Amino acid sequence: MCCATIGRAWGHPCEMCPAQPHPCRRGFIPNIRTGACQDVDECQAIPGLCQGGNCINTVGSYECKCPAGHKQSETSHRCEDVDECGAISGVCDGGECTNTAGSYVCTCPRGFMTSPDGSRCIDQRIGTCFSALIGGRCAGDLPGQYTKMQCCCDSGRCWAIAQTPEMCPVRGSDEYRRLCIEGLPVVPGFPGSFPGIPGFGPNGVGPGLNGPGGIGPNGANGQGGIPGLPGMGPGSSSIGTATLNQTIDICKHFTNLCLNGRCIPTPSSYRCECNMGYKQDVRGECIGE
């Protein structure tokens, strides 16, 4: 039974399991009466297999479904916590990552705020926005004060705080995506300086193009620098002009939409399918039961 299932060796002293258990292949064992090879139910045969998760027998093998933020250990075969701080590159950009059971939290420095899902630091510092770069220097300072997102995701080329200039990320780069696209659903009360994106976030139902409001967790009247993305969220209705004839896979474009669950794209929005032990709250997000 050991060598026919997950075993690699057996007994004291230890004997290596054969590469091809005789007379059936791994995952099968001979029927005592007929001698025919039959499937082994590993979930029944090996107590503690997939402990902390849900063990599902398959023909010739098994599947272990672990809760969010956990994965099956190759040595103990239990569901163990994933250390996201070490596993995800660029996690808590600009802050300090602390691993928690099934998740992680970011501690952000002064001038930054933690996103509502705790996954990243959002720059809330106010500085000067420049519309041009001349000879590698910031030029054409604009009147007023801007956050880096307000400046760089609109027409700014350079942003400076306390006389320290920072170049705006190149459009289309990973840094630009993190600042201007992934940051959008979680920035509360953003001033209306960027026309062209409907409100989005869980239950995002804003009227969309050129609406007067701000981008917030519930996406009402959201505005942004990208024309024509749909209003997003379970039950959302707002669709921008650029997407009327095509479907955007929201789940691929925006990570972290369904913390503690699985993101399922729908024709103009998305919904969350919650992991075991979590249920949907009124906003359609997965929270612990």
At residue 182, the pLDDT reads 67
Confidence band for 288, pLDDT divided at 50, 70 and 90 = confident
2-80: CATH, from 1.20.1430.10, 1.10.540.10, 2.10.25.10, 3.40.50.460: 2.10.25.10
pLDDT value at 195 more than 90: no
pLDDT value at 233 more than 80: no
pLDDT value at 184 more than 90: no
| pTM to 2 decimal places | 0.44
Q: Quickly name the fold that domain 250-288 has.
A: Laminin (2.10.25)
The share of the chain scoring above pLDDT 90, in percent, equals: 16
Least confident of 17-31, 146-160, 249-263: 249-263
At residue 63, the pLDDT reads 92
Domain boundaries, the chain: 2-80, 82-124, 125-181, 250-288
Confidence band for 62, pLDDT divided at 50, 70 and 90 = very high
Rg (CA), the chain: 26
pLDDT value at 159 more than 70: yes
Residue 177 identity: R
- Asked if 2-80 and 125-181 have one fold, the answer is no
Q: What are phi and psi of 149, to 5 degrees?
A: -65, -45
Query: Which has the higher per-residue pLDDT, 52 or 105?
Result: 52
pLDDT value at 193 more than 70: no
pLDDT value at 224 more than 60: no
Tokens of 178: 């993190």
Q: Quickly name the fold that domain 82-124 has.
A: Laminin (2.10.25)
125-181: CATH, from 3.90.290.10, 3.40.50.720, 1.10.600.10, 1.10.3720.10: 3.90.290.10
pLDDT tens across 235-279, in order?
333 333 333 334 456 777 666 678 888 888 877 677 788 888 888
Average pLDDT over residues 49-54: 92
